[in-house]
Structure 1
Amino acid sequence: MRRITRITTVGIASAALALSATACGKSSSEGGSASTSDSKATKAAIAYDIGGRGDQSFNDAAYAGLKKAEDELDVDGSEAEPSSGEGDADKVQRLTSLARAGNNPVIGVGFAYAPAIKKVAAQFPDTTFGIIDDTSVTGKNIANMVFNEEQGSYLAGVAAAKASKTGTVGFIGGVEVPLIKKFEAGFAQGVKDTNPKAKVLTQYLTQPPNFDGFAKPDLGKAAAEGQLDKGADVIYAAAGLAGSGSIEAASKAGKWAIGVDSDQYNQAGLAEYKDSILTSVTKDVSDSVYNLIKSVKDGKPQTGEVRYGLATDGVALADSNPKYKSMTDLIAAVDQAKKDIIDGKITVKTAP
């Protein structure tokens, strides 16, 4: 059965969003593929991050996991959109409403949900709460779904260095927070390890507590245009919905863009620019959502840190673009880098 209930809360307060810490949580169940369960139906909910569903990236990947659970596990799914200019109080209200409605699990898409999950999870001890991209908040009923973004970004750096003709590439971060710094660090390291003479231009769209850098495509477009003017011919943006603006700018300039989180070559909303999307650093947010829902349905809910890395295809580099598939030297370099990371020959930095 597929029954989506869209829940939107009205802003209560304009308190600044809390940043997540980068400390590791306790280890527990591992993510991975799972088979269909025949147990009783489950109600599950996801609360979207900034930009909401339709961002062609992070939130849409989470939705894909919920939809898969609906289709394969007979789950009734609910979605909750963020409000403009919201604070932690709005998130608390949203998660509380979803939990009271009987959803289990309730998943916060993004580190900004950490303060709210810490509060609401304590009030609903029999409900499993999932949070993506955060390990700062822990509890017996909290699953921290995290990724080695730096590893996938390293591969993007290798690809960018190989594809660049000018020797100058760009990185655009949505908001300058520790999570996005991981993307920057891996990308820059991959570029420099491949071509020590290459130049990496770096720009962040906003600084916290302003999170517009994850939500406004015009900001990404302007930043990309500036990097293109400085000679960049490959631009990698880790900026959520704002990243679509950088893809547009690169495409119109006849240069390469590298997508993030979802395989953006296959995103319908970016079809006009797909030929310019060389590749994308994918995070298996979809399976992380699906796996948590299934674990609850099976009566063995995941808790603690559930990590997805390169070795388990939790992060990867997409090869959907036929032009990418034709670049044999680039693919060979990426494949070798992937092997070296998995084998421990390359240690990827998590901070610039």
Structure 2
Amino acid sequence: MTITAPKAALTGLVAAGVVALLAACGSAPSSTSTAANSKYLPCIVSDQGGFNDRSFNQLGLEGVQEAAQKIGSSYKSVQSKSANDYLPNIKSLIQQGCNIIVASGFNLVAPVKQAAAENPKVNFVMVDDNSIKADNVKPVVFNTDEAGFLAGYASASYSKTGVIGTYGGQKLPSVTIFMDGISDGVKYYNQQKGGSKKVIGWDVASQDGQFVNSFVDLNTSKTIAQTMLGQNADVLAPIGGPIYQGAASAIKDGGKNVALIGNDADVFLTDQNGYNSLFLTSIMKNIKPTVSTIVQQAASGSKFDNSQYVGTLKNNGVGIAPFHDFASKVDPGLQGELDKIKAGIIDGSIKVESPSAFAE
């Protein structure tokens, strides 16, 4: 069966405390609306996952749209179909007079680095990477291992077979950090409960596992998911934007009671393919409010702040979604346990230490 990612209208993801979360780590931009800079033009370029990925491309676009509305400006967006489009798309936005360009995804690092060096008067927001050191590039990264830890614990609590499967789109730090958190959360559950539940598809010690090698190949994603279902997994966490749709299709075809873990957005809310009811929870990055507030600050006329922003549980930059349709299916005491674990991660009494985590 061939699966193609559908087109869909964008949906919102509301996250509270955006000013507080940015202030807590990195810059503390003001979110005050202003029309004084109505000619200020915010822009965004997607990676090949596209703006209908129900994930970080979509959330980044929504952040730019929200910022444009609040500053009384228009905005421009350009979607990349392949890696060959990245640099030409960025150059096109520069030629159209963009003042700030948001780049969604690790794969855009090289073209952003080149464009930023060649155009020092244009500012960039680099989501999911902090390797570019330049006055006009603000790195925005997320310690999703912290939220992944909570999702891993929840997965272990829910799983009846004791097998949790996870795999990634590509082997990138911004992907494997999720997988580290999930694996460590399952391990912590076993320590606390005397359990023997396991993760397949990722090994923390070797930092190796299974990958689609694409963020858009839903058929390979489905094949990997089917293999994991054959290994008795009843929770699947495909990390990489729209590849969850391949896993969801495998679950539907298999006819078993299997739960999905979403990533980046609350995919229960953003999915428009009829897979909503499959999601136990999602590991979220609060990309929309972060991008919106950074753009608003840049438009305010103050000096561009290129300091690194790290989203954490403490500053509400990351988190997990509600259980939605699974609320009546999880252990009644699970939410209380997760609240205590979250507090422990925040105060440091519970260590979450992915090699891909970012220093705050």
TM above 0.5: yes
Q: Tell me by how many angstroms 1:250 deviates.
A: 3.0
- SS of 2:210 mapped into structure 1: strand
Partners of 1:83 and 1:262 in 2: CA distance: 21
Q: Secondary structure at the match of 2:348?
A: coil
Q: How does 1:217-296 map to 2 (within 5 A)?
A: 217-251=218-252, 252-270=255-273, 272-296=274-298
Q: What CA distance in whole angstroms lies between the structure 2 residues aligned with 1:245 and 1:219? A: 8
Q: Could you tell me how far apart the structure 1 residues matched to 2:326 and 2:76 are?
A: 38
Q: How does 1:1-352 map to 2 (within 5 A)?
A: 29-30=26-27, 34-41=31-38, 42-84=40-82, 86-87=83-84, 90-196=85-191, 197-202=196-201, 203-206=209-212, 211-212=213-214, 214-251=215-252, 252-270=255-273, 272-300=274-302, 301-319=304-322, 321-324=324-327, 327=330, 328-351=332-355
Q: Give TM-score scaled by structure 2 length.
A: 0.83
Q: Deviations over 1:300-333 (max 9, x none)?
A: 3331311111111111100061423663322122
Q: How many residues align?
A: 317
TM value normalised by structure 1: 0.84
The answer to whether the 8 Å contact 1:236/1:257 transfers is: yes
Please give the per-residue CA displacement for 1:97-151, whole angstroms capped at 9, x wherever unaligned. Answer: 2122111211111111111111111222122111111111110111001111111
Cα gap change, 1:60 to 1:333, in 2 (>3 Å) = same
Which whole-Å CA distance do the structure 1 matches of 2:26 and 2:124 have between them?
14
CA drift of 1:34 comes to 2.0
| Structure 1 pair 28–337 and aligned structure 2 pair: CA distance change class (3 A) | closer
Q: CA deviation at 1:237?
A: 1.4
- Cα distance, 1:192 vs structure 2: 0.8
Q: Give, in angstroms, the shift of residue 281 of structure 1.
A: 0.5
Q: What is the letter of the counterpart of residue 228 of structure 2?
A: Q
- In 1, the alpha carbon distance for the partners of 2:228 and 2:334 equals 23
> What is the alpha-carbon distance in structure 2 between the residues aligned to residue 269 and residue 73 of structure 1?
30
Structure 1 segments (4+ residues) deviating >4 Å: none
| 1:18 counterpart residue number | none
Question: What is the CA–CA distance in structure 1 between the aligned matches of 2:29 and 2:347, rounded to whole Å?
Answer: 20
| Aligned Cα root-mean-square deviation (Å) | 2.0
Check conservation: 1:154, 1:348, Cα contact below 8 A.
yes
Distance 2:32 2:104 in 1: 24
User: Bigger shift: 320-329 or 144-153?
Assistant: 320-329
Q: Note the alpha carbon deviations across 1:233-273, whole angstroms, 9 max, x for none.
A: 11111121112211332354321101000110012423x12
Cα distance in 2, alignment partners of residues 218 and 279 from structure 1: 23
Distance 2:28 2:244 in 1: 27
Q: Which amino acid aligns with 1:40?
A: N
Letter matched to residue 225 of structure 1 = Q
Structure 1, residues 51-96: CA drift from partner, whole Å, max 9, x if none?
A: 1011111211112212212332223111111133x34xx4222212
Partner SS for 1:52:
coil
Structure 2, gaps ≥5 residues long:
1-23, 202-208
* Identical amino acids, percent of aligned pairs: 27
